[in-house]
Amino acid sequence: MRVLGIESSCDETGLAVLDVERSGEARIVAESLASQVALHEKYGGVVPELASREHMRSLPLLLDEVLQKGGVSLKDIEAIGVTCGPGLKGCLLIGVTFAQGLSAAHKVPLFPVNHIEGHILSGELHSPGLKPPYLTLVVSGGHTEIVLVEGLGRYTCLCRTRDDAAGEAFDKSANLLGLNYPGGARLAAAADTVAGRRSRFSLPRVGREMDDFSFSGLKTAVLLLIRKNQEALAADPTALPEICWTIQDAIVDALVVKVEREVKKRKLPLVVCGGVSANTELRRRLQERCPEVHVPPLRHCVDNGAMIAYVAGRYLSAGASAGRLDIHSRWPVETLGVCA
């Protein structure tokens, strides 16, 4: 089945065309992505109204681009998948409205997709031999959770953050250090320059014994660390990278401790997905401590259209009918129910 996927939940506009087999295997025919980093950089974060307008501008351009790349036309598309949540409502609305227009004009079935399910199933998209059950660490700017995947549409959240997500912890810490947007990525890049992965600075290990993740206490500890070391930051050019390393080390440790615990307990493969799964140190530690780890390629750690097309193709191949196109700013993946 040839499926067009449309993603517009936040600040990336992604479109992709996939051939999805009934077995679950898929081939990416073509994909295109437009990032809005330059647009939001001067504001220090994503401005929802500007993001929505940029999606409106980018969607028709990316559609033309992806069809040309793949050598296909809209007549070849058998189904469309579009992100309906979770995400920014205005951004979601632009993507859904665009998809509805295509669906109506070309009489193609339209399927609503949960953005987090897209990230989760990206493990199967890129590792065809991977089959449920397995564990997934979903780690991004808005989500940090460990999910047990038992089948298509069958998800149990084992552990999630009580407050900030890991990506927010990176971004807020970067903001305290005065790093420009996207701060989390800049903090990680600075941390990776520290030789020997060692730092003279330290932070408490927050929430190691808790059942859930929590990063709000870490943010306070980072603020105190920065205030305590203002002179070093001003005088020593190695201080900033070392503090960045210390922050990254604390965030990654909080993630790895709980993931390793669940992997040992359940003896299942692990998929790591979401924007923070691009973090080099997180990947390294999980691959050292867990027997089987699947991580999508870097281009699919960020939001993208391929994962949306894949989810829609999987459900339609399983015989599911198109659902209601309701927009959800929050949409916990465990509420999706069991696929028939």
What is the chain's pLDDT, residue by residue, as a tens digit (340 residues)? 999 999 999 999 999 999 999 888 999 999 999 999 999 999 999 999 999 999 999 999 999 999 999 999 999 999 999 999 999 999 999 999 999 999 999 999 999 999 999 999 999 999 989 999 999 999 999 999 999 999 999 999 999 999 999 999 999 999 999 999 999 999 999 999 998 999 999 998 876 778 899 998 898 999 999 999 999 999 999 999 999 999 999 999 999 999 999 999 999 999 999 999 999 999 999 999 999 999 999 999 999 999 999 999 999 999 888 878 999 999 999 999 744 3
pTM of structure: 0.95
- pLDDT on residue 137: 98
What phi and psi values does residue 131 have, to the nearest 5 degrees? Answer: -130, 150
Edge-to-edge order in the sheet of strand 270-273: 154-160, 144-151, 134-139, 270-273, 293-294
- pLDDT on residue 340: 38
Query: CA-CA distance, 307 to 300, in Å (whole number)?
Result: 8
* Beta strand ranges found along 191-288 (DSSP E): 270-273
Give bridge partners of residue 272 from the DSSP assignment. 137
What phi and psi values does residue 61 have, to the nearest 5 degrees? Answer: -65, -45
Tokens 């993001």, residue located: 51
- pLDDT on residue 324: 82
- pLDDT on residue 338: 45
Query: CA-CA distance, 1 to 317, in Å (whole number)?
Result: 8
What phi and psi values does residue 101 have, to the nearest 5 degrees? Answer: -65, -45
**Residue 57 neighbours by CB under 8 Å, 6+ apart:** none
DSSP 32: E
- pLDDT on residue 256: 96
